[in-house]
Structure formats: structure tokens, C-alpha cells
Amino acid sequence: MNIRQRVDRLCERLYVTAQYPSQGAVVFVDLERQEIREAYLSRAMLRDFLGGRGGNMVLLYNLLEDGLDALNPGVPLIFGAGVLTGHVPGGPRGNVTSLAPDSEAILDSNAGDYFPAYLRRHGIDHLVVYGQALRWTLLKFEHGRLEFCDASRYRGMNNIELTGAIEQDFDCHEGRNMALARITRAGEKQVLCSGIMAGPKSIFARGGSGAKMGSLRLKAVLVRGRPPEFPIDKSHREDNKRIGRKILSTGVAKKVLKTVGTPFLYKPSRLLGALGTYNNQKTSWHDSLDAENFDQFRDGMAGCYKCPVHCRALNRIPDADETDPYRHGDGPEYVTLGKFGPNLGIDRPEHVLRFNDSASTGSAIAWAMELYQRGIISDADCSGLAPNWGDPVLIETLLFQTAEREGFGDTIADSAQAVERGKYPTEALRYRMASKGLFQSDPHDSRIIKAFALGLAVATRGMDHLRNRVTLEINPRINDDPDYKRELYGAAVSAEPNSYIGKEHSVARCEDQYASGDAVGMCRFNTKLFNSPSLPDSNDFAGQLTRLTGIQFSPDEVLLAGSNITALERMINYRIGLRVTDDTLPQRWFDEPIDEGPFQGELIDRDEFEALKKRYYHVAGLTEHGIPGPERHERLARTVTGFSVRVELPHDLPGEAERMVIVDEVVNNVAGLRQTVCRRYPELVDRMDDELTLAVLNGQTILSGEGEAKISDGDQISFIRAIAGG
């Protein structure tokens, strides 16, 4: 069944009108045929998955055709705004979801600036695009109307040029009366580490969303016009004020985010001896990149739609040539600072300011540098460049080449997939700092803090700290107060950062809190547990969700929705072939102890790690395969696909105690069901195709005519081993 048939089938289950106050539409856009349709998600979908990242996953689960490559135009790209996006202070965020071209997992990327809030306030909760446009296209949304515009003229433009051209052509100004999601040249050329820009600087990064959008020939999505006011009652307004005060009263917002931005994190990592340096061969680096050394370059702070924090540092390089378009900009964030500082052997702030690219690009260059250092790649492989550590001219050259896919940049553009795409030998994988094919998002070497390590390993989109990082593991006031720590994470968690004890609880709790935060649109920096225990949490989300939607939410239901989202993501990852062994870490962290600093000798013990992972699965309500068991799968399927058939198996999946799987895609008959089981669970193909495996449908053995034996939602079917001969 192709994407168009899937959209048709899904729309039959969705609604033609809003199901609760403030609900926006799901807009399906067929770029190839220039066709648009609208529908509304159900109240059950809201209750179980909220919106934003959660709603996106519901849509992806339904629309994904098994077996397609991420860049296939039949795999949709889904923009989603959270339920509270644009309706609470500090909550301007939204997600972009698909399969990731730059990993083996889902693509799911969060950004703020203006685009998600504009989308939501203009009445679109989710925008689903698919099919390849016949020419480069800009989608314009204005006054409730979506228009396909020719974007040929914008082709080849970078972010600065494109913004200027669109502001001129459409007589608007970003942030004042327009928001834009767009790709640069890198996205057009399907550079795998490219993202979708959500503003002058915010980016839907991680997983290659830019390449995915480029594969659809979609240059930009423009929302024009100031966001319409939405009437909210007095209690909603009062609570918004309280939430704003709550955010601003935290030390982290007041003292650092508002004044310095995220680079403040560099120093604690450095002092701990946990800075990923030279592609994590080392873990210490100079204090020249401590946040205070960027003070002289900072010429203001910017922020996202109605966020009281304004954490984004602006920069200006003094004495730079006035014609240099990069003399002024946003950033860097802590991630960029680490990835383009110690990770590449760079120690001067002004160099980091110029590079200011995505985490994956920095990781791809660091990987190349280590391969070159080890002689695994040669000058010839690098098209004449010599990728040596600490060479700012080379790095800048490589960044421009990468965006154009020129010279050695074509290899960097293949990011973490360079081996799979034939650019590096298999030996290179040993030095790839990635999990599930995605480079680590942050520069923190996590051999010391075991909760960080577990989080990176089990994160559903690959090696990423924003899914579940227990950042407060480095907060002594929390570590020294066991009762408070237990209260925060719901169970006892060791005070020692390098202990494995109890870390499953803190990772699982952060994961639920953050996923629910994404689904309502709250920025991670403004969500409890990420930077502070005092930031808004599921209690605050529940109150505002109830007021905005008219549907009663409890804090526990909000957290459960967060857990459901992660579970559904794991179900998608399972469908695309990821297994429990993919929840792991780079080999280096198991084999090579840290050789310097206060935690010298620390590494990840394989047995301890596997035991911790198992405990995490249990706490997260997953089986030992890291996926929901049959009962939970069935419950989720009721909401997601509206179809569920229990299938009992003659043999269990490896290690699966229940000997049962759930088919949650509509099938009409036993023959179709057999095919679906084989497709979704390739480990069962041999057993299911065995001519001795008979189907028993609702107690009735099917000896012939499987194609005519109808299957309905709620049926039970067993496959039994027939006894042949005598």
C-alpha cells in the first residue's frame, strides 16, 4: 500500500472537524500532484500521545510503508506543533518527524524560533508532506489557504540570502509577521548532516531532516501573517504568568541562560575531565573556550516566540571585514562549542564562532581526522586535503565543500553513513562515535556518568542527549539529598555519578518528562529535570492542557503520554530493523578507559551496562527486547491504527516469553496476515512459511483458503505446528 492509499485509509479514521477547542488540522500535502486534504486527530490520540512529537509519531506509524528508504518520497516528512505551542510562555517548540537518512532510526527533531508557534496559531497542528515536487517548491500558508509557489529562484541560496529574498518577495519580516522552515544548499544536495532551519539560527537538526526535505524538492514552508489571537480564559492567563515566573525564578534561567546561553556547560564538563576531545580519544581541553571567553563577542541575546528566557547568544567578530557575511550571527551553543572546539582540536573562540555548524557535521569531521591520523584514509581519499587536528582553514574549507558536496566534502556530507555509502572501509566503524548510526549529539564523554551513557544508548533517535539526559547527575545538592533525589526520579538512585545503581529510574523518568514536554511544545531548557528540578513539569502541562482543550488531564496521564510516545518510537524502530543490540554505545567507551583527569580509568563495563539496560526496559514498561509487550502493544494499537489482532506463535521470538505478537496493520484475511507477520518480524519468516504451520482463526483451523478466511479487528489467531506422518 503506497503513501496515497495510506493517507486515504488514515483519513477514513480521522475527523472532518476539530474534536476539542484550539485543535488545529492535520494538513496532508502531496507535493507531486499538488493536492491537499485536511483532517483532525481523535481525542483518544490527544489523550494517549498529546501532540507535536506524539501526534507526529501516530501519523508516521500509520503512513510508513515498510521497506522504503528514508529518502524515498513515499516516506512522509511531518511537521508538528505541540498542544501548548504558542499558548504558554517558554513553549514555542515543534518537531519534525520521518525516517532518518543520517541514521538507522527514526528522524525526530525539535526546534523553536517562530515556525512551530506560527503553524499552530494559524490552525495547523501537523503538516504532512510527501511525493517529490516536479520543480522546487515553496509552500505558502496565509489566511487559512495553502499555496504551491515556484521556488526555482531560491535554489542554491543559503539561510541568510533566502530569508532576505523571501522577506522582499512576500513583503514580510521573519518573527514580525512571518515564519519560515527552509533548507539551504546543503539540504538541496541531500547532505545527510543537514537540517531544516526554523529561523535565523534554530534548526531541526539530528538525522538529516534537511536532506529529507531536499529529496522532496521542498525549499521552504512559509507561514505569512501575524499569528491570530486565540481567546484564553482568565485562569489560563493567570497560570501562564505563574509558569513564566516559575521559569524565570530558576537560577539557571536567571544567572546563565539569559546572560550567557548554553556555553556555560563547557566548564563543568571540562573540570570533570569529560570533554570529547580529538573524536573522544582524549577527554580534556583548554579553558580558553570557557563561556566567559565569549563575552567579548556577544552583542545581545535573542529568543523564540514569546519565551521569557531569550537564551540565544548573538555574536559579532570585531575587526572582521564588513563584507564578510559571517562576521555576525547567532551562537554558539554548548554542543557546537564542543563539537567544533575540543573535538576538532580548536581552542580559539573566534574560530568556533565562525564554524557554528551542526553537531553531526563536527562529528563527521572529527571522525575523518581520526581516520586520517590512523592512516585508515589517505590524502587521495581526502581529495588532496590533509584533515589534521586544529586547522581552522581546513575546517572552514571543508564546511563549504560539504554544503556543495564537492571534493572531500562529499564524504563528510555522507556523515555517519560514509561506510555504508562506500566512502570509508569497514574498519572505520570502530572509530565512529555513534549509536544507531547517529553521531553523538553533545560533546560530553559519558564514560564517567553512567546515567548519561544509558540515556545515549537507549535514545530512540540514536546517540542523543536531548531525549533523556539526567543532567542533574552533576548537581551536588541533589546527590547529597537522597530523599529529594528519590522524590525526583520515583525511586532510589545512587548519588555517585559513576555508579550503575538506580540509573534506570532517572533515565526513564527524564525520558517521560521530556517526551511529554516535546508533545506539548515546551522547550527542553524550560522543562523540569533538564537544567533544574524547579522548572515546569507534568503538573503545569496538565493544568494548561485541561484549560486549553477542555479535556481533563492529570499529571500522571501527561507522563504516561510521554512514555507512550517513546514506546511507539521503539515500535517504529523495530519495524525498520533495529533490535535490542542496537541500544548500545561506541566500542571505544567499553574498551578504552579514560586516561586523564579526576576519573582516570573510568569506562563502561559491558556486563554492568547490559544489566542496567535490562532494568531500564523493565522500568520503562518494555520487554527484554526493548519494545512493548503484547498487552501494551495492543492498547497502543487501539489508538494508533484502530486495529489489533493477537497472533500466537509456534515458537517464540528469540527470548520472547509471551509467544505472541500483535498485528496492528489492517489485514483482510489470513494470507495477508501471514505476510504482514513475516514482514514485521523477519525472524519468523522461516517458521511462518513452513508448510507445516497451520493457522487457527478464533478456534477454527484453516486447512485451505487462507485468502478467503476474513480477519477482523479483535480476532485471535494461532499458528500451530501440524503433525505430519505417523
Binding-site ranges for ligand SF4 (CB under 6 A): 90, 92, 112, 303-304, 307, 309-312, 523, 525-526
- Are 281 and 370 in contact, with CB atoms under 8 Å apart? yes
The angle at the Cα of 452, spanning 93 to 627, to the nearest 5 degrees, equals 75
Nearer Cβ to ligand SF4 (304/697): 304
| DSSP H helix total and E strand total for the chain | 26, 22
Task: Work out how close the CB of 245 gets to ligand SF4 at its nearest, in angstroms, rounded to a whole number.
Answer: 15
Q: Residue 188 or 537: which CB sits closer to ligand SF4?
A: 537
Kindly state the smallest distance separating residue 178's Cβ from ligand SF4, in Å: 18
* DSSP designation for 252: I
Q: Judge whether 274 and 452 are in contact, CB under 8 Å.
A: no
Query: Considering beta carbons, is residue 311 or 382 the nearer one to ligand SF4?
Result: 311
User: Rounded CA gap, 483 and 477, in Å?
Assistant: 11
25-30 and 124-130 beta bridge pairing: parallel
Report how far residue 334's alpha carbon sits from residue 269's, in angstroms, rounded to the nearest whole number.
10
Measured from the Cβ of residue 262, the count of other Cβ atoms closer than 10 Å reads 21
When the beta carbons of 466 and 660 are compared against ligand SF4, the nearer one is 466
| CB of 311 or CB of 394, closer to ligand SF4 | 311
Q: Calculate the alpha carbon distances from 149 to 128, 137, 152, 460 in Å.
A: 17, 6, 9, 35
Whichever of 90 and 586 has its CB closer to ligand SF4, that residue is 90
Shortest Cβ distance from residue 248 to ligand SF4 (Å)? 11
Radius of gyration of the chain (CA): 25
CB closer to ligand SF4 out of 88 and 711: 88
Nearest CB to ligand SF4, comparing residues 286 and 310: 310
607 with 590: CB under 8 angstroms? no
Check: CB of residue 450 under 8 Å from CB of residue 497: yes
For residues 215 and 28, is the Cβ–Cβ distance under 8 A? Answer: no
Q: Which H or E element spans position 251?
A: helix 251-251
Query: Interhelix angle for 503-520 vs 450-458, to 10°?
Result: 50
Contacts of 242 (CB under 8 A, 6+ apart): none
The rounded distance, in Å, linking the Cα atoms of 60 and 572 is: 8
Q: How far is the CB of 266 from ligand SF4 (least distance, A)?
A: 17
Cell 500466537 found at: 648
Q: How far is the CB of 84 from ligand SF4 (least distance, A)?
A: 12
- β 137-142/145-150 pair status: antiparallel
In Å, how far are 181, 191, 204, 544 from 119, measured between CA atoms? 10, 26, 15, 19
The residues, any chain, with a CB within 8 Å of residue 106's CB and separated by 6 or more, are 57, 60, 97, 98, 99, 100, 207, 460, 461, 569, 572, 573, 576
Q: What is the DSSP letter of 669?
A: B
**Cα separation, 76 vs 117, whole angstroms:** 21
Find the Cα–Cα–Cα–Cα dihedral 442, 448, 451, 454, rounded to 10°: 70
Closest to ligand SF4 by CB, 253 vs 661, is 253
Q: Which is nearer to ligand SF4, 90 or 208 (CB)?
A: 90
Query: For helices 52-63 and 3-13, what crossing angle results, to 10°?
Result: 120
Which is closer to ligand SF4, CB of 309 or CB of 346?
A: 309
- Decide whether 310 or 486 has the Cβ nearer to ligand SF4: 310
The whole-angstrom separation of Cα 227 and Cα 181 is 16
Minimum distance between the CB of residue 121 and ligand SF4, rounded to whole angstroms?
A: 15
Asked whether 119 and 140 are in contact (CB, 8 A), the reply is no
Contact partners, residue 712, CB within 8 Å, separation at least 6 = none
- In the complex with ligand SF4, the residue whose CB is nearer, 310 or 430, is 310
- The one-letter amino acid at 568: L
- Kindly state the smallest distance separating residue 525's Cβ from ligand SF4, in Å: 4
**Is 551 exposed, middle or buried (CB count within 10 Å of its CB: 0-12, 13-18, 19+)?**
middle
DSSP at 475: -
- CB 306 to ligand SF4: min, Å: 9
Alpha-carbon torsion angle 613, 440, 195, 410, nearest 10: -130
Q: How far is the CB of 307 from ligand SF4 (least distance, A)?
A: 3
Please, which residue, 112 or 342, has the CB nearer to ligand SF4?
Answer: 112
- The contacts of residue 296 (CB under 8 Å, 6+ apart) are 318
Shortest separation between residue 711's beta carbon and ligand SF4, angstroms: 47
Considering beta carbons, is residue 464 or 656 the nearer one to ligand SF4?
464
Q: For helices 482-489 and 503-520, what crossing angle results, to 10°?
A: 50
User: Distance from first CA to last CA of the chain, Å, rounded?
Assistant: 43
Q: How far is the CB of 614 from ligand SF4 (least distance, A)?
A: 35
- The distance of closest approach from Cβ of residue 253 to ligand SF4 in the complex, given in angstroms and rounded to an integer, is 8
Nearer to ligand SF4, 258 or 679 (CB): 258
The answer to whether the Cα torsion of 583, 587, 591, 594 is positive or negative is negative
- Determine contact, residues 289/343, Cβ cutoff 8 Å: no
Q: Which is nearer to ligand SF4, 304 or 456 (CB)?
A: 304
Q: C-beta of 469: minimal distance to ligand SF4 in Å?
A: 15
- Smallest distance, ligand SF4 to C-beta of residue 310, A: 5
